[in-house]
Every structure is written in C-alpha cells, then in structure tokens.
Amino acid sequence: RNRIGSENPSDVFRFLVEERIQCCQTRKVRYTERVDYLMQLPVAMEAATNKG
C-alpha cells in the first residue's frame, strides 16, 4: 500500500489540476478542478529529440 487505505499503486501519480477560464467580453472568471494522473508540458518542436 502506498497511501492509507489505498491499494492502487497509480495513486502516487494522482494530483489536482485547477483550470482558469476567462470570458473575453465580460472578463468573468471560472475555476474548475479535476483529478489527473498525467501532467502536460508544452515542448517546442525545435527542442524535441524524437521529431520523426
């Protein structure tokens, strides 16, 4: 077990993502939260080693 009461080993990669969305006209903002297991990181094509 990797966490109290958890038998799922993938739980060590679990994290909470908060997203901020803003309306261009009214400037109102909405925040949403979701659980995810993958973190998306932007990488410039020039910096990629596996371009093919």
Nearest to 3 by CA among 47, 12, 19: 12
Within-domain flag for 30: yes
pLDDT number for residue 5: 67
Confidence of residue 1 (pLDDT cuts 50, 70, 90): very low
Within-domain flag for 4: no
pLDDT tens-digit profile of 4-46?
Answer: 666 888 888 889 999 999 999 999 999 999 999 988 888 898 8
Residue span of the structural domain in which 32 resides? 9-39
Within-domain flag for 47: no
Within-domain flag for 52: no
DSSP code for 4: T
Instruction: Count up the domains in the chain and report the number.
Output: 1
For tokens 């109102």, name the residue. Answer: 28
Nearest to 35 by CA among 12, 18, 10: 18
